[in-house]
Amino acid sequence: MIDKQRDHYIHSVNVFILGLCIFGQNENFRNAFAKARLDKTEYPFSYDTQNEEFFYRWGIAALFHDIGYPVEIINKQFRLYIEMATEVDEKAKINPYLTFDDFAAFNSIHEIVPKKQFTQTYSEKYDSCVYIDLLKPIDLLAHQIHLSLDVDLKQIKFALDHFLNVMASNGFVDHGFYSAIIVLKWYGYLIQKCGYKPEYFFYPVLDSASAILLHNYYRNGLMKPPFSLGPLDPKKHPIAFLLILCDELQEWNRPPYGAVDRSRNRVGEVSLSITNAHLTLTFLVEKGNFPAQFAAEKEELFNSVLNMKALFPDGYSIDCQVLEEILPLAEPLKADDGLAPRPLLENLEKLAVAIHEQYVQRQIEKNPAHPPQYPRFSDLPDSLKYSNLRQARTMVDLLDRMGWELCPEDNCRAAIEQFSAEEIETLAVCEHDEWMKERLQTGWKLGGNKDVEKKITPYLVAYEILPDEIKDLDRDSVRDFPELAKMMGMKICKR
């Protein structure tokens, strides 16, 4: 009966993995996390490396951030059923909502050891603890938000204490609110039961639980009066920042269950590039129409909610590409399908998108002040889309000329991770030859100034007489072959 419901189970694992990718690839985030959460004077029991401490905190936040989602599903089912059952009475406005007989019992941590023994170290550290109950999840969340985001403790405690009424009066459920409480209830119980140090609960676990709350509540609560906070900075709450970012980016591989969602096209895969300076993401939709404003709405959300410049100083881009719009361009390349392994053909279209994104990223790194004319694959004229498809298709042939081949990633042979300067130069010459053949076959002519519309280029000449900056384009494209192979679950090996 639910109109809108998507997978939140596989989604949580994908969010976790995506966060690991950003942590591994972006030094700006690692620095923000280290400064905000690895102060040994603040929390002396942290892991000895930031990798371990991050893995622990991020694991809790990412994998458990949607465990309260069943509460939202149940309430939506209840509302829809009551609306259906009473629709004969057009004047009736029911506004049903499931609530608690005793919410205080839900908002409490079971006392296994004496309360003072469990809470003493934390309460002695912060004088402000006199205003809260350290065995009540909502009070703990209010205190953590007060410390991390510099909001008034009494204001945030009042807002969270009354949030249940706000949700009831407006007919919605913030599952992050319930997820955060459930995490604190269970970890509070388990850490006491197992005799672990209380600090494990009051620092890493509470940090992760507050991130879970904030992944919805930051924009829906704290960015509104009386708090009116601006975009979240990763130095303030790195785990919350990452959770909001990854939760919104992770749109692929999410099976739909709602009646309306099932009728919509969904994102099957994604092409992603993460560096210290830039993030590029292209959602790959299998077929049909996809909302034109989808990518723009994502960018607008990030611009308003997160300080993206703090992680990606050169900016970020989000795109959406319907794969069936790319496939017709690939037809001329399939006359000799037998020459290419099936995994390459199956991934031809997304490989072409990835090739363009890597080209864009290299151009941004070389000249940040002058971004490329076509930052997204979908922006390219058909002739340039074809060029990327040609490059994807001929990659196998170039490897073959070198005595190499693509193998499954789990093959026992050693992978060629990078090429020597001589190998790059040899491949670059071959790549330029293939590029010239493609250009000539598609009607391009030699001319003094490049003109895409008229198909004129000054580079239809031998590789040896090209300017160095144009040679570098060919070198860069072949230098990326090992990385492109990994994207297909393969590797380059000697024959």
Q: For all residues of the chain together, what is the average pLDDT?
A: 86
Q: Which of 424, 377, 179 is nearest to 270 (CA)?
A: 377
Q: Is residue 88 predicted with pLDDT exceeding 80?
A: no
What 400-406 contacts at long range (C-beta under 8 Å, 24+ apart), as own/partner pairs, is: 401/430, 402/426, 402/427, 403/494, 403/495, 404/492, 404/493, 404/494, 404/495, 405/492, 405/493, 405/495, 406/341, 406/343, 406/344, 406/485, 406/488, 406/490, 406/491, 406/492, 406/493
Q: ∠ CA(89), CA(90), CA(95), 5° rounding?
A: 85
Q: Is residue 279 predicted with pLDDT exceeding 50?
A: yes
Let me know: does 191 contact 216? Beta carbons within 8 Å: no
Q: What is the pLDDT of residue 226?
A: 95
Let me know: does 185 contact 109? Beta carbons within 8 Å: yes
Pairwise CA distance, residues 141 & 47, whole Å: 23
Q: What is the pLDDT of residue 331?
A: 45
What is the length of the chain? 495
Q: Is residue 190 predicted with pLDDT exceeding 90?
A: yes
Q: Which of 349, 218, 223, 229 is nearest to 284 (CA)?
A: 349
Which residues neighbour 371 within 8 Å (Cβ) at sequence distance 6 or greater? Answer: 363, 364
Give a three-class secondary structure readout of 372-403.
CCCCCHHHCCHHHHHHHHHHHHHHHHHHHHCC
Q: What is the pLDDT of residue 150?
A: 96
DSSP secondary structure string, 417-483? ----HHHHHHHHHHHHHHHHHHHHHTT-EE-SS-BTTTTEETT-S-GGGS-HHHHHHHHHHHHTHHH
SS3 135: coil
Higher pLDDT, 283 or 460: 460
Q: What is the pLDDT of residue 259?
A: 57
SS3 126: coil
Average pLDDT over residues 80-86: 80
Q: Which of 27, 33, 16 is nearest to 238 (CA)?
A: 33
Average pLDDT over residues 193-200: 94
Residue 244: enclosing H or E segment and its boundaries?
Answer: helix 238-249
CA atoms lying within 13 Å on the CB side of residue 330:
23
Q: Is residue 293 predicted with pLDDT exceeding 90?
A: no
Residue-range domains of the chain with CATH: 9-249 (no CATH), 326-494 (1.10.490)
Q: Is residue 339 predicted with pLDDT exceeding 60?
A: no
90: Cα separation from own chain's centroid: 44
For residue 196, give both structure tokens.
Answer: 């672990």
User: Using 50, 70 and 90 to split pLDDT, how confident is the model at 338?
Assistant: very low
Q: Is residue 262 predicted with pLDDT exceeding 80?
A: no
Average pLDDT over residues 64-79: 90
Counting DSSP H helices and E strands in the chain, the numbers are: 22, 7
For residue 112, give both structure tokens.
Answer: 């296994």
State pLDDT tens for residues 313-335. 988 888 887 655 544 444 444 43
Q: What is the pLDDT of residue 242?
A: 98
Strand-pair category, 404-408 with 490-494: antiparallel
Q: ∠ CA(176), CA(59), CA(32), 5° rounding?
A: 90
Q: Is residue 178 predicted with pLDDT exceeding 90?
A: yes
User: Using 50, 70 and 90 to split pLDDT, how confident is the model at 287?
Assistant: low
Q: Is residue 158 predicted with pLDDT exceeding 60?
A: yes
Q: What is the pLDDT of residue 329?
A: 46
Which residues neighbour 64 within 8 Å (Cβ) at sequence distance 6 or greater? Answer: 12, 179, 182, 183, 208, 212
Residue 198 preceded by cis peptide, ω within 30: no
Which range is least confidently modeled, 3-7, 150-154, 321-325?
321-325
Q: Is residue 488 predicted with pLDDT exceeding 90?
A: no
Let me know: does 74 contact 82? Beta carbons within 8 Å: no
Higher pLDDT, 255 or 59: 59
Pairwise CA distance, residues 444 & 452, whole Å: 9
Q: What is the pLDDT of residue 156?
A: 98
Average pLDDT over residues 382-394: 80
Which residues neighbour 123 within 8 Å (Cβ) at sequence distance 6 or greater? Answer: 129, 130, 134
Let me know: does 63 contact 94? Beta carbons within 8 Å: no
Q: Which residue has the tokens 């024959």?
A: 495
